[in-house]
Amino acid sequence: MMNKIYLFILICVSVGHQMVKAQAGSLDSTFGSNGIVTHSMGSNDDDIHAIALQSDGKIVAAGYSYNGPIMICAMSRYLPDGTLDASFSNDGMLTETIGESHCAYHGVALQTDGKIVAAGFSKFNDQKDFALARYNEDGTPDTSFGLAGKISTDFYGKNDDVWAVLIQPDGKIVVAGVAGNPELPSDFALARYNTDGNLDNTFNDDGKLSFNFDTGSAFGTSLALQTDGKLVISGYTASGNVNDFAMARINSNGTLDATFGNDGKIITIITPYDDKSYSVAIQSDEKIVVAGFATTANPYYKFAVVRYQPDGTLDGTFGEDGIVITVFGDYLDYPRTLVIQQDGKIIVAGLSGTAMQSDFALARYNTNGTLDNNFGINGKVITPVSAGYETIYSMKLQPDGKLVAGGFAQSGSEYKFALARYFADLSVNVNDVPKTENTVSIYPNPLEQQNTLSYFLQNDGPVSITLIDLNGNIVKRFLTNEFQQAGQQDVSLELDQELSQGCYFLCLTTDSGQISLKIIR
């Protein structure tokens, strides 16, 4: 006789058609395949760096694709269910070159008229410049913008790159990134354009602004707009052999805001090691949230979230003196993006893994910086998209509260565009959730080295089985998206002899959702 154990169901068991409460952090099975979309853009590596959400529910993704040895700009658009939108560039995918060789998009934003602005870099011989392109809704170039829909802007004649773009309420376009020259330290760099693509000379006289922090090279990675029209740019700056979080605030005329930090600039030292910021967002109360990684002991990276008061001082009501560090695994936890929900909760996403393999990783925080235990397992979600290397670079909240994340996933020796959609706290209509006969059990209990997980699948589909400790860290993967046929399944699970005694979660993920068993070793 099987010893049944207590079952924590992360999706609500239901019979028939009714309203259920989806577990925050669980994948939305109505999107793509079990909540995930992956596809190739070209014949080699592809990577999503930014996503944007249209008002009709369509999703725009921008990044790059390799055409042989050349990196080219790439963009795709998806219908709300995750399928490619054939009304965009004929098949939902667009690739093109800006400049004479490499180019890539690192940011994308939508105008109120539906036109799409993408930004990144273009390369001419050995020189990288800011690059922007604007597209009509169908993916054709907007010839009223710049030269045939494209713009290149040079700062220092060598190594300039856009990492963020936004559209102001007046329609002007602001981009931020890095301007560099091998003979000089690199700088934070911003440019503002009028709606026709010309540089806006009301912004720092010539439409461009660059500066560093007098400590070494500085790299701008993210940009946010306050309600008063001021711009906040975040990133990192070198200090000796390590980097620290760096941030600045810019007045609407393109000058540094002297009321913020030290003459408009702030450096935040989190650890004595390497710390880098990659994303910034503004709360409704004008507090500023920044996310990146902190190196707690070389070379181990951890999620780091910092919150500042509107004047740039650290917010002591958040975490420990304004700083929160979160551990997923034992080696590499690397966040790249954050969003703030309407209720003030903060979601940070990136990757967790090793130098050889990683998964999508997300964490949600309460307004005081503690992990939100209603999200995933103890505030954390880890999603294995493939058996290789994968990460989230961009994330957006839909009006219905669902969370869309984009990045890349490894398939064999190549990387593909990858998207995942998750539930937040949301009631949804579910027709095909697991029925009561989907009994899940494991025996023996407490566990021994050899164990059997027994469950019933309603439909054919991919199955993942993962062992997670009480801190949300992955201990072992037994299956990763392995196809199984509908019916009764009995899977043998072998535990490592060195696994410590205690409580764990065994997570079973199918195309119907996720179920978690609390087990004892």
**Which residues, including other chains, have CB under 8 Å from residue 145's CB and lie 6 or more apart?**
133, 134, 151, 196, 197
**Whole-number Å distance between alpha carbons of 469 and 471:** 5
pLDDT at 138: 97
Q: Is the pLDDT of residue 385 over 90?
A: yes
Residue 312: C-alpha distances to residues 315, 462, 518 (Å): 9, 47, 43
**Whole-number Å distance between alpha carbons of 139 and 177:** 25
Q: Which residue has the tokens 């925080």?
A: 365
**Whole-number Å distance between alpha carbons of 117 and 108:** 6
Q: Which residue has the tokens 């940011």?
A: 107
**Whole-number Å distance between alpha carbons of 133 and 130:** 10
Structure tokens at 369: 């910086």
CATH architecture of the region 212-384:
6 Propeller (2.120)
Tens of pLDDT, residues 41-90? 987 899 999 999 998 999 999 999 998 888 999 999 999 999 999 999 99
| CA atoms within a 13 Å half-sphere pointing along the CA-CB vector of 339 | 21
Q: pLDDT category, 360, cuts 50, 70, 90? A: very high
Kindly state the average pLDDT of the residues 306-328: 97
Q: pLDDT category, 499, cuts 50, 70, 90? A: confident
Residue 170: C-alpha distances to residues 167, 192, 196, 315, 389 (Å): 8, 12, 13, 31, 40
pLDDT at 35: 95
Q: pLDDT category, 442, cuts 50, 70, 90? A: confident
In the chain, pLDDT over 70 holds for what percent of residues? Answer: 90
Tens of pLDDT, residues 142-161? 999 999 999 999 998 788 99
Question: What DSSP element (H or E) covers 372?
Answer: none
Rg (CA), the chain: 23
Kindly state the average pLDDT of the residues 259-270: 97
Beta pairing class for 93-96 and 103-110: unpaired
Residue 179 DSSP code: E
What are the start and end residues of each CATH 2.60.40.1930 domain in the chain? 435-520
Bond before 444 cis per omega within 30 degrees: yes
Query: Highest mean pLDDT: which of 197-201, 342-346, 382-386?
Result: 197-201
* Residue with the larger pLDDT of the pair 348 and 475: 348
Contacts within 8 Å (CB) and 24+ apart, 229-232: 229/168, 230/257, 231/174, 231/176, 231/190, 232/280, 232/282, 232/288
**Whole-number Å distance between alpha carbons of 60 and 76:** 6
* Residue with the larger pLDDT of the pair 360 and 97: 360
Whole-model pTM: value is: 0.81
Residue 110: C-alpha distances to residues 54, 98, 252, 340 (Å): 7, 20, 21, 19
Residue 376 φ/ψ region, left for φ over 0, alpha for ψ in the -120 to 50 degree band, beta for the rest:
left
What are the start and end residues of each CATH 2.120.10.10 domain in the chain? 212-384
**Whole-number Å distance between alpha carbons of 352 and 334:** 6
In this structure, are residues 351 and 391 in contact, taking their beta carbons and an 8 Å threshold? yes
In this structure, are residues 250 and 256 in contact, taking their beta carbons and an 8 Å threshold? yes
Q: Can you identify the CATH homologous superfamily of domain 435-520?
A: Macroglobulin (MG2) domain (2.60.40.1930)
**Whole-number Å distance between alpha carbons of 517 and 500:** 18
**Which residues, including other chains, have CB under 8 Å from residue 498's CB and lie 6 or more apart?**
none
pLDDT at 434: 38
Stretch among 291-295, 374-378, 499-503 having the lowest mean pLDDT: 499-503
Residue 362: C-alpha distances to residues 186, 344, 349, 418, 487 (Å): 31, 16, 4, 15, 32
**Whole-number Å distance between alpha carbons of 411 and 50:** 20
For the chain, counts of helices (H) and of strands (E): 0, 38
Tens of pLDDT, residues 361-372? 999 999 999 999
Q: Is the pLDDT of residue 97 over 90?
A: no
For residue 353, the cross-strand partners are 332, 358
Give me the chain's average pLDDT, please: 88
Which amino acid is located at 308 in the chain? Answer: Y
* Residue with the larger pLDDT of the pair 63 and 298: 63
**Which residues, including other chains, have CB under 8 Å from residue 449's CB and lie 6 or more apart?**
494, 495, 497
